[in-house]
């Protein structure tokens, strides 16, 4: 019976997360990450072979002629290194900048992908990422920043333990030093001021947990946990995390009751 109730609580918690719009689980496949994009003279350059292959095109390189032919069942794309001329199904196309080889990899301007492959392209200035989409496929091409790693299981457990420990503060100097690597300054200040969190409930890091990400770049995450408070009352703890220059940090910790 307890297992049934626990499952029901988890279902309510997780569905409420989806419906509230606070967080959401990924509905698409995990994006393909390419981390060797370039920016040259203000233009975003992408590695044409890696992107083409991930779009299910075949790529043929002619070393003698320095040409690339990219094909699928319906499309034939021809490029020549150091030239801003290309052809798509026999139709001449002009690139914004010539195709070029950088450290053994051939690059073309990002906008060429839209012209030649019919994909949607956009540039995210905050993350310095070129985002290519085609139906349910997402390709992220990082240029000046490295991809943000998702939380590991060990990191999740650490944040869960730290939040449990922060429930009650008795030693302020210790708390400041202990929690500074994990909480933002604003959150830590509030916890110190109130000498802990609103509830002392301890949450089990091994079960009844959910991690979701707010955007495709994994820059913000939500850890949702549920624990039994009393008989038919459960309590949820939601931690909002942000990836900073020093790593993941908790921005907010909120609680909510669930009555069954």
pLDDT of residue 22: 32
pLDDT of residue 16: 43
What b/e readout covers 148-180, taking b as 16+ CB neighbours within 10 angstroms?
Answer: beebeeebbebbbebbbebbebeeeeebeebbe
d(CA 12, CA 78): 54
Mean pLDDT is lowest, of 9-18, 31-40, 57-66, 116-125, for 9-18
pLDDT of residue 23: 37
pLDDT at 1 over 60: no
Share the mean pLDDT of the chain: 89
Question: For 59-111, how does the pLDDT look when each residue is reduced to its tens digit (9 = 90+)?
Answer: 999 999 999 999 999 999 999 999 999 999 999 999 999 999 999 999 999 99
pLDDT confidence band for 160 (50 / 70 / 90)? very high
pLDDT of residue 19: 31
d(CA 85, CA 92): 7
Percent above pLDDT 70 for the chain: 89
pLDDT of residue 229: 80
Domains in the chain, CATH or no CATH each: 32-142 (3.30.457.10), 153-259 (3.10.450)
Out of 2-16, 77-91, 203-217, give the one with best mean pLDDT.
77-91
Question: For 37-47, how does the pLDDT look when each residue is reduced to its tens digit (9 = 90+)?
Answer: 999 999 999 99
d(CA 82, CA 44): 16
Token couple for 53 = 């292959």
Cα dist. 228→20, 167, 191, 252 in Å? 22, 16, 23, 21
Angle at 148 between CA 147 and CA 151, to 5 degrees: 145
Contact (Cβ atoms closer than 8 angstroms) between residue 121 and residue 108: no
pLDDT confidence band for 6 (50 / 70 / 90)? low
pLDDT of residue 231: 76
> If you search the block for the tokens 């801003």, which residue do you land on?
84
pLDDT of residue 198: 95
């Amino acid at each position: 019976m307890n297992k049934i109730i626990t499952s029901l609580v988890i279902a309510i918690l997780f569905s409420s997360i989806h419906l509230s719009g606070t967080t959401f689980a990924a509905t698409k496949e995990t994006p393909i990450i390419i981390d060797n994009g370039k920016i040259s003279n203000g233009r975003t350059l992408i590695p044409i072979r890696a992107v083409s292959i991930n779009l299910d095109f075949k790529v043929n390189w002619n070393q003698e002629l320095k040409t690339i032919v990219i094909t699928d069942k319906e499309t034939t794309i021809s490029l020549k290194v150091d030239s801003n001329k290309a052809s798509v199904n026999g139709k001449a196309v002009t690139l914004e900048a010539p195709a070029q080889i950088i450290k053994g990899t051939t690059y073309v301007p990002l906008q060429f992908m839209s012209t030649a492959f019919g994909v949607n392209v956009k540039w995210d200035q905050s993350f310095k990422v070129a985002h290519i989409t085609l139906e349910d496929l997402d390709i992220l091409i990082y240029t000046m920043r490295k991809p943000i790693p998702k939380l590991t299981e060990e990191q999740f457990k650490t944040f869960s333990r730290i939040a449990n420990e922060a429930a009650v503060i008795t030693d302020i100097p210790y708390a400041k030093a202990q929690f500074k690597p994990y909480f933002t300054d604003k959150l830590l200040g509030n916890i110190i001021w109130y000498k802990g969190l609103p509830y002392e409930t301890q949450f089990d890091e091994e079960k009844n947990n959910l991690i979701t990400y707010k955007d495709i770049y994994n820059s913000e995450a939500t850890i949702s946990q549920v624990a039994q408070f009393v008989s038919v009352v459960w309590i949820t703890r939601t931690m909002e995390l942000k990836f900073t220059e020093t790593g993941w940090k908790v921005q907010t910790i909120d609680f909510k009751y669930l009555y069954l």
